[in-house]
């Protein structure tokens, strides 16, 4: 009924775009990219195909827009975690937790970012790479300022923290959440903090 009511209803462009992306997420998550059809996405969103094509010229454009929105969400979570406190001991679990929250919040979103089967497509690979690089950049800036390290050393530590957080979160999800998220975050953060906190304390 909701889909039928959506037809013919004029929404502001940003709201319509969000509606189409949400519908596309459901279809891509259920069928994968190659089996998903624009007809099905339009039907899921409750709009005509011409309306869908007004916003997204093709399926790949829609997929990339959706992927970019997920990358933005992950980077936002990481930056919010870093800004949530000035205590590095608390920043580490907050940052690790950002990755766990992301994979736990929407498995379809995390799979698009970390397990996309379209990495051979340059625009997709660029978006996937940004998920890591933007997170690393944000953490590097914080470590450089607070631990008194030069940028190269800070970046290496940031890459390590991002890699540890990302792989641990994906492992936790893949193994059916064998422990609570809080316990998994604490274990992962404790491992990271023993290296970062013990070797590179705050310089001010």
Same domain, 79 and 156: yes
Average of pLDDT values for 85-113? 89
Same domain, 137 and 184: yes
Is 203 part of any domain?
A: no
What confidence score (pLDDT) does residue 9 get?
A: 61
Q: For the domain that residue 39 is a member of, what is the CATH number?
A: 1.10.10.60
The answer, yes or no, to whether residue 203 has pLDDT greater than 50, is no
Same domain, 53 and 77: no
Q: 28-78: per-residue pLDDT in tens? A: 988 889 999 999 999 999 999 999 999 999 999 999 999 999 999 999 999
Is 51 part of any domain?
A: yes
Mean pLDDT for the chain overall: 87
Same domain, 73 and 158: yes
User: Which residue shows structure tokens 């940004």?
Assistant: 130
Is 1 part of any domain?
A: no
The structural domain count of the chain equals: 2
Is 30 part of any domain?
A: yes
Which domain range does residue 153 map to?
63-196
Is 4 part of any domain?
A: no
Q: Output the pTM of the full model.
A: 0.84
Q: How confident is the model at residue 104 (pLDDT cuts 50, 70, 90)?
A: very high
Q: Which of 75, 73, 65 is nearest to 23 (CA)?
A: 65
Give the separation between CA 63 and CA 34, rounded to whole angstroms: 11
Same domain, 42 and 69: no
Same domain, 183 and 103: yes
Is 6 part of any domain?
A: no
- Quickly list DSSP for 64-118: HHHHHHHHHHHHHHHHHHHHT-S-HHHHHHHHHHHHHHHHHH-HHHHHHHHS-TT
Radius of gyration of the chain (CA): 20
Is 204 part of any domain?
A: no
Q: How confident is the model at residue 185 (pLDDT cuts 50, 70, 90)?
A: very high
What confidence score (pLDDT) does residue 121 get?
A: 93
Percent of the chain whose predicted confidence (pLDDT) is above 90:
63
Average of pLDDT values for 138-167? 88
What confidence score (pLDDT) does residue 111 get?
A: 87
């Amino acid at each position: 009924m909701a889909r039928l009511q959506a037809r013919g209803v004029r929404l502001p462009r940003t709201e319509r775009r969000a509606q189409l992306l949400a519908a596309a997420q459901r279809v891509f998550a259920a069928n994968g990219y190659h089996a998903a059809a624009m007809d099905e996405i339009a039907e899921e969103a409750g709009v005509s195909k011409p309306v869908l094509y007004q916003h997204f010229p093709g399926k790949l454009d829609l997929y990339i827009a959706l992927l970019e929105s997920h990358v933005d969400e992950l980077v936002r979570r990481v930056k919010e975690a870093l800004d949530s406190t000035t205590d590095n001991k608390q920043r580490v679990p907050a940052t690790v937790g950002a990755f766990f929250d992301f994979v736990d919040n929407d498995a379809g979103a995390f799979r698009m970012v970390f397990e996309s089967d379209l990495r051979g497509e340059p625009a997709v690979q660029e978006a996937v790479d940004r998920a890591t690089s933007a997170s690393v950049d944000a953490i590097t800036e914080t470590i450089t300022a607070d631990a008194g390290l030069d940028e190269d050393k800070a970046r290496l530590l940031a890459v390590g923290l991002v890699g540890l957080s990302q792989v641990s979160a994906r492992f936790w999800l893949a193994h059916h959440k064998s422990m609570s998220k809080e316990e998994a975050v604490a274990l992962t953060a404790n491992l990271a903090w023993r290296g970062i906190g013990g070797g590179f304390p705050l310089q001010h």
